[in-house]
Amino acid sequence: MVQSYHPQTLNEIIIQNQSAFPYAKGELSQLLSHIAVAAKIVNKKVNKAGLVDITGAADNVNIQGENQQKLDVFANNAFIQSIKATGILGGIASEEDDEIVIFDDDLSLNGKYVLCIDPLDGSSNIDVNVSVGSIFSIYRRISTPGTKVEIGDFLQEGTKQVAAGYIIYGSSTMLVYTTGLGTTSFTLDPSIGEFCLTEKFMESPKDGVVYSINEGNYVKFPQGIKDYIKYCQEVDKDTNRPYSSRYIGSLVADFHRNLMKGGVFIYPKTLSNPSGKLRLLYECNPIAFLAEQAGGLATDGEGNRILEIKPTNIHQRVPFVVGSKNMVLKVEEFMKKYK
């Protein structure tokens, strides 16, 4: 008998979901498809790391004072070029660009959406063949269509995101996204060049046995976090402790593992970085949206839901606690003791 193979592709699922938004004209769907195309271009390049001269540092330093890797620059250009062509977006805020990029061609001036993107997160891991990712977040513009988008279009609370997602370039390449109807994952089938449905409604386990934090910064952590780490390391059969410590240093990879298996990811404030390290717009908001849509939680560790924080700056950083609901609540409990 001939075996038939007909996976559900990203485009099919996007079109199915579109009917849930009666006012939608298919623009958001088109945008997501173009993001997927850019992701495939970046994926191809990431897979060549080590074969061609794309690893290592470019000669630039980004706004955050970090050395840009060559692949950061490549990924940034790939996303901007693919997405600009749609005319659906009025502009982009990228972790790699100091200022927002405004598209001012006739089509884009009427674009309804803006995009925030970290084109290649965890890129310092590329040289050593560790998984990296791209993270994106889409908002409906609030400025008047027909004019150039403004900074205020990007400085909206995470609750206003209309879609968000990430691509993980790992042992396989996956795209995980949400439009507020659950968190859905796809795996790239290289033989047909399509993202194929893996899990329609991902569910974050309510509990887990993994904590992910850069313990090298221990002495600089708030006391609540230090105590939580000790709690994770204590032996208690009833709560499956001690927990395992797993930290790759690549947010998408750490979050993805915890989302699948249960766990908590913490990048807290430290003495030297009172706002933590991760960026609200490009990293925390999209990941928080995905986490919540899968039944998890995301806070700043001090009782504030990430998605409700009003951004004041596109490159703003925020302490970040995300993952399995009960584990995030436990971190909050420890932090509260020292408030």
**SS3 (DSSP) at 248:** coil
277's contact among Mg ion, ligand AHM, none, with CB below 5 to 8 A by partner kind, is: ligand AHM
Q: Which is nearer to ligand AHM, 277 or 325 (CB)?
A: 277
Residues 153-182 that bind ligand AHM (CB under 6 A): none
Please state whether 122 falls in left (phi above 0), alpha (psi between -120 and 50) or beta: left
Give helix 285-293 / helix 251-261 axis angle, nearest 10°.
10
Contacting Mg ion (CB under 5 A), which of 121, 254, 300, 332?
121
Site string for ligand AHM, 211-240 (x = CB under 6 A): ---x--------------------------
Angle at 245 between CA 249 and CA 256, to 5 degrees: 55
Angle at 129 between CA 125 and CA 133, to 5 degrees: 55
Q: Which is nearer to ligand AHM, 130 or 197 (CB)?
A: 130
Q: Where are the alpha helices (DSSP H) in the chain?
A: 10-18, 27-47, 70-84, 106-109, 151-154, 223-233, 251-261, 285-293, 325-336
123's contact among ligand AHM, Mg ion, none, with CB below 5 to 8 A by partner kind, is: ligand AHM
Contacting ligand AHM (CB under 6 A), which of 78, 92, 174, 251?
251
In angstroms, give the least distance from the CB of 277 to ligand AHM.
5
Contact window for ligand AHM (CB under 6 A) among 34-42, 157-165, 245-253, 289-297: 245-253
Q: How many Å apart are CA 40 and CA 9, to the nearest integer?
A: 14
Q: How many Å apart are CA 227 and CA 338, to the nearest integer?
A: 10
214's contact among Mg ion, ligand AHM, none, with CB below 5 to 8 A by partner kind, is: ligand AHM
- One-letter amino acid at 117 equals I
Residues 17-76 that bind ligand AHM (CB under 6 A): 66
84's contact among Mg ion, ligand AHM, none, with CB below 5 to 8 A by partner kind, is: none
Q: Which is nearer to ligand AHM, 90 or 263 (CB)?
A: 263
Contact window for Mg ion (CB under 5 A) among 120-128, 176-184, 255-263, 313-321: 120-128
Tally of CB atoms within 10 A around 283:
27
Query: Is the bond preceding residue 242 a cis peptide, omega within 30 degrees?
Result: yes
Range list of β-strands (E), 264-315? 264-267, 297-299
Residues 119-138 that bind ligand AHM (CB under 6 A): 121-123
* Contacting positions for Mg ion (CB under 5 A): 118, 121
* Contacting positions for ligand AHM (CB under 6 A): 66, 95, 118, 121-123, 214, 249-251, 277
